[in-house]
Homo-oligomer: A and B are copies of this chain.
């Protein structure tokens, strides 16, 4: 309906090539909510006839419950489809909806709202995973496990240090994503195509409806940039990579030869030809999610790279990748939570490797160095020579030579902050639990305020 007066008709290939209508399914709720907020503003500013605004609002609210009709139109995007639908329902009066807005500010508004919501859901999932990890870290505070570097047993450590390490990583992302949320949740409404609109509406009041009153001030920045989105995607990709490392740990350490973990059977799949196979498929998808999030980020950033300022249709192509990424990272957090909730551990397997490999050597070198007052590097070289000669005899030889006992229960209680010492982990858990708890409360309150007003069925379409 937009193009006909100036440009005439367009063939199938080109319509399909440029139309975002099907991809817009992911943001249809937000587009409708944004348009509703806009029409409310037009009404409140007395810029269009009151009756027309009421009619339009009624139709928009109906669409929020059943948006499927929109996707049958031959339209450039969901914005045009909505106008087509409104015109069918309301005739010429529908055309009041176009005042004081452009697709440029409206798609930016819908995307900002969608991004903020997805970030909030991600933050909630993250907080829930953290809560569980902290519970487990406390429960398993005393479970001794070899730590690994270079995928070789490194030192005596605790399972709880591992779990708490994931938690501290998540707490960093929690802070970064909260900042991304703040940057995203600002209203571009009223920015128009590039420089503001001539209709004297109140951008501040409009921002109060969906954006907690926050505003992107500059009309050009508001209508022609996607930095709120690339910041969110960039952080999510980084988080996805961090989660892929957790997935890799669980895949490797639950392999039959290592066997520290037993994965819940719901997280396994078998083979169509190999009846004995138990494959860690959810973790593999979680690992692959890092590649997907990275690819989606590259798509977004390289699409935007070098574009002149102001809206160009290139930007539209970012949307699908962006929503996919933000949803995927959230789901990955949920999946990992489910695994950590149901995972079983084998203390025997962990203890087996603690006995099998000379993982106490580094701490023994430190202890001997302190006890004898000799330079650490010399002691280190001596122990390396002993390991080379006879790894199995190391501990005995150390006790004989230096009078130092290889006691893993003592050594794991390292005397420094943040170490494998169960007391250290417990202290960390206590402090982290407090902050996670209050964070969850805040996030839930925010969700109450900015969660979608669309019906769930529309959302999931």
Contacts and interface: CB of A to CB of B under 8 A. Distances in A.
Interface string A261-290: 000011111111111111111101101111
Contacts of A367: 198
Contacts of A227: 169, 172-173, 238, 242
A314 B295 contact: no
A228 B172 contact: yes
Interface in A55-75: none
Given A6-B278, A219-B420, A384-B6, A198 B301 contact: no
24 contacts: A13-B334, A79-B272, A95-B377, A96-B377, A98-B272, A102-B271, A147-B193, A152-B278, A157-B195, A168-B216, A168-B221, A176-B179, A176-B183, A190-B417, A190-B418, A195-B412, A196-B419, A219-B416, A241-B301, A249-B308, A257-B257, A271-B362, A292-B317, A305-B306
Interface stretch (A25-33, A113-121, A159-167, A439-447): A159-167
A133 B189 CA distance: 25
A285 B277 CA distance: 32
Contacts of A183: 172, 175-176
A346 interface: no
Interface residues of A, number: 202
Per assembly, the copies of the chain total 4
A144 to B, nearest CB: 11
A451 interface: no
Nearest to A10: B266
Interface string A119-157: 000000000000000000000000000011111111111
Contacts of A169: 221, 225, 227
Contact of A197 (B80, B102, B312, B414): B414
B95 A274 contact: no
A310 interface: yes
Contact of A176 (B180, B280, B383): B180
A117 B435 CA distance: 28
B301 A237 contact: yes
Contact of A196 (B97, B150, B164, B414): B414
A120 to B, nearest CB: 17
Contacts of A190: 416-418
A230 B230 CA distance: 14
A268 B405 CA distance: 29
Given A3-B270, A14-B282, A149-B271, A308 B161 contact: no
B331 A218 contact: no
A172 B332 CA distance: 28
A452 interface: no
Interface in A404-449: 411-412, 414-421, 424, 428
Nearest to A314: B288
A344 B74 CA distance: 28
Given A295-B297, A309-B165, A334-B13, A149 B277 contact: yes
Contacts of A257: 257-258, 353
A183 B306 CA distance: 28
A150 to B, nearest CB: 4
Q: A182, A193, A244, A321: which has the most chain B beta carbons within 10 Å?
A: A193
A47 to B, nearest CB: 6
A295 B305 contact: no
A384 B231 CA distance: 38
Nearest to A199: B366
A447 to B, nearest CB: 19
A343 interface: no
Contact of A302 (B2, B231, B302, B383): B302
A220 to B, nearest CB: 4
B5 A381 contact: yes
